[in-house]
Amino acid sequence: KSHETAAGEALERTRQEEEKHQLEKQQTETLLQQIEELKLQETKATKLKKEQENLLKQQWELENLEEERKQMEEHRRKRELGRFLKHQCDVQLRRRAQQIQEELETDRQILSALLEKEDEDQRWQIARREWAVADVAWMMRVIEEQLQLEKEREAELETIFREEAKKIWEKREEEWEREKVARDRLMSEVLAGRQRQIREKMELNRRAQEQSIKYREQLIKELEEMKEGTRWEKEQQRPCRREQAQGMEHSWREEEEQQQGWGQQHLEELEQQEGEQG
């Protein structure tokens, strides 16, 4: 009976050791999973940080694009104004100069024809020729006066053309300004929408980083608790093992003493029987 008890206790100890081994295995696997999850969270945190830096860079680039666009618009307007004024004046002056040259050339041809005709007609009377020459001289003076007048008008035309060009420019500038206001409104909506998207992404990124930090802190806390629990269990197991060893030794001693007592008693009974027979 004592042998059966010892065998049962041995089986129970084996079962407990197996359960303990399985529990330690599960704890180790859980610990490894927690460590792996912590590594993943660290990678995620690094990725979120880079994403935040990228969003800040995009926001900065967008602001620079807006400023660059304004500067380019201002430079374009000044450049076009100068080119427009120069073009208008040059075109008008060239056109007017050509007209004057054509008119003067026509008059010159007429005068030349008159002089040639006077040279050919020698039969004209002297008075007639003098009159004709005086008439041509008068016409030449008229042309010279007209040339002088055209030069003065040319100087005036440059001013007039510039003033007229300025009026045309101002009118066109009003049209451009209306178009620009409409275009700027659309561009502002697009850029504002992009800025809003960037801000929303940055807010989501900030929240994700906060959650990641909290989750990592929780994982680290759980890992520390698991390690602490494992150390505590090992410390608790040491006295239990000593008690088990002492209990087993005590059980063996009791069994041995029982066997010795049973043998002594049996020997005394045999000696008593022999004495009675003698």
Inside any domain, residue 155: yes
Residue 149 domain boundaries = 20-240
What is the reported pTM? Answer: 0.44
Binned at pLDDT 50, 70 and 90, residue 115 comes out as: low
Q: Give the model's confidence band at 271: pLDDT under 50 very low, under 70 low, under 90 confident, else very high.
A: low
Residue 273 included in any domain? no
Domain assignment present for 248:
no
- Residue 122 clears pLDDT 60, i.e. is over it: no
Does residue 130 belong to any structural domain of this protein?
yes
The backbone region for 124, taken as left when phi is positive above 0, alpha when psi lies in -120 to 50, beta otherwise, is beta
Q: What per-residue confidence (pLDDT) applies to 38? A: 78
Residue 227 CB contacts under 8 Å (≥ 6 apart), including other chains: 31
Identify whether 272 is part of a domain: no
Sign for the CA dihedral angle at 234, 235, 238, 244 comes to negative
Q: How confident is the model at residue 225 (pLDDT cuts 50, 70, 90)?
A: confident
Give domain status of residue 44, yes or no. yes
Summarised one tens digit per residue, pLDDT across range 36-74 is 887 887 888 888 888 888 888 877 877 777 777 777 777
CA distances from 75 to 69, 70, 72 (A): 10, 9, 5
Here the tokens at position 110 are: 């007429």
Task: List Cα–Cα distances, 106 to 118, 151, 189, in angstroms.
Answer: 19, 18, 64
Residue 226: is its pLDDT beyond 80? no
Most distant CA pair in the chain, distance: 216
Residue 246 lies in a domain: no
Backbone angles phi, psi at 121, to 5 degrees: -95, 85
Based on the structure, what is the number of domains in the chain?
1
Whether residue 9 is contained in a domain is answered as no
Neighbours of 251 (CB within 10 A): 14
Which structure tokens are listed for 233?
A: 């269990």
Higher pLDDT, 207 or 184: 207
